């Protein structure tokens, strides 16, 4: 329960996507954030043509309904009307609103990873392990109990691979790098082969490994959704007590120390 005078944090991802509007609150979106770009979804291109040809389709591009504008992307985008409701509620009940504004969903991942690393150092934890989550595959509770540092990826495609590589380029080295991969069942546009994910293991000083991934089955590895939890506990033996909650004051201290480092704006 939020204490009197507390802070409501609103996460605002500014990602937009071409849409077709058929009335108030009736908005339709073709495609979504993933391997193919919005332009490829709408207009095709070499990668789309090659993909359809490989699947023996007579088509050379998709033919979505004509779009008449852009809207917040259906999965990740933030609708401004939601903020208006939150701000109205906060005014009526004496709460403060703090907006966290960013353009791409993965923009938060470097900030969160560094925050956890900073927090663990304050707790005196010696573990130096990066656990890479993928879409819905994550273990928040056990990540904290094992004092692992989380880095969340949107998907298993090129944008997520680059986001992780960019983070590893700029962060102090980790002793361990453990990666899980969401499997969506198809060799889609932009999906990153297992060998490229494996190549990142060389960035760890002592150990790199997958969590729950059947390398031979990926990206049709549907067992990963069950296997991931048990493999996480098996491959990470460290166990620590649940820490005290991170406070707003601690968060503010971290943000002051890292001002300007991330593609994220904190607005009061």
Average pLDDT, the chain: 96
Residue 256 placed within a domain: no
Name the domain count of the chain: 1
Q: Which residue range(s) make up the domain with 136?
A: 109-235
Q: Give me the percent of the chain exceeding a pLDDT of 90.
A: 96
Confidence of residue 127 (pLDDT cuts 50, 70, 90): confident
Residue 202 has pLDDT above 80, yes or no: yes
Burial of 180 (0-12, 13-18, 19+ CB in 10 A): buried
Residue 153 lies in a domain: yes
Asked whether residue 133 is domain-assigned, the answer is yes
- Has this prediction a pTM greater than 0.85? yes
User: Which one-letter DSSP state was computed for residue 133?
Assistant: E
Q: What is the mean pLDDT of residues 69-80?
A: 96
**What is the model's pLDDT at position 12?**
98
Inside any domain, residue 19: no
Does the residue 177 lie in any domain? yes
Residue 137 within any structural domain of the chain: yes
Q: Is 24 inside a domain boundary?
A: no
Q: How far is CA 196 from CA 129, 200, 215, 257, in A?
A: 20, 7, 12, 34
Per-residue pLDDT, averaged over 164-178, amounts to 97
Confidence category of residue 219, pLDDT binned at 50, 70, 90 = very high
Predicted pLDDT at 147: 95
Residue 49 lies in a domain: no
Contacts of 15 (CB under 8 A, 6+ apart): 33, 72, 73, 76, 77, 103, 104, 105
pLDDT band at 1 (very low <50, low <70, confident <90, very high): confident
């Amino acid at each position: 329960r939020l204490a009197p005078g507390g802070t409501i944090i609103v996460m605002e991802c500014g990602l937009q996507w071409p849409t077709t509007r058929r009335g108030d609150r009736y908005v339709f979106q073709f495609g979504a954030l993933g391997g193919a770009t919005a332009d490829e979804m709408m207009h095709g291109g070499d990668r789309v043509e090659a993909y359809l040809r490989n699947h023996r389709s007579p088509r050379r591009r998709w033919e979505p309904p004509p779009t008449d504008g852009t809207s917040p992307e259906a999965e990740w985008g933030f609708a401004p009307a939601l903020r208006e409701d939150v701000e109205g509620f906060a005014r009526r009940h004496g709460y403060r609103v703090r907006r966290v504004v960013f353009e791409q969903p993965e923009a938060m991942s470097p900030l969160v990873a560094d925050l956890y690393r900073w927090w663990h150092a304050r707790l005196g934890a010696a573990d130096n392990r990066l656990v890479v989550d993928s879409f819905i595959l994550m273990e928040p509770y056990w990540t904290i109990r094992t004092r692992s540092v989380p880095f969340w990826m949107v998907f298993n495609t090129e944008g997520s691979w680059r986001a992780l590589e960019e983070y590893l380029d700029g962060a102090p080295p980790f002793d361990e790098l453990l990666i899980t991969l969401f499997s969506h069942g198809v060799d889609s546009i932009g999906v990153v082969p297992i060998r490229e994910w494996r190549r990142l293991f060389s960035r760890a000083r002592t150990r790199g490994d997958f969590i729950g991934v059947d390398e031979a089955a990926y990206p049709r590895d549907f067992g990963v959704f069950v296997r991931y939890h048990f493999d996480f506990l098996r491959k990470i033996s460290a166990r620590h007590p649940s820490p005290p909650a991170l406070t707003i004051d601690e968060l503010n201290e971290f943000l002051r120390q890292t001002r300007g480092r991330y593609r994220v704006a904190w607005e009061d």
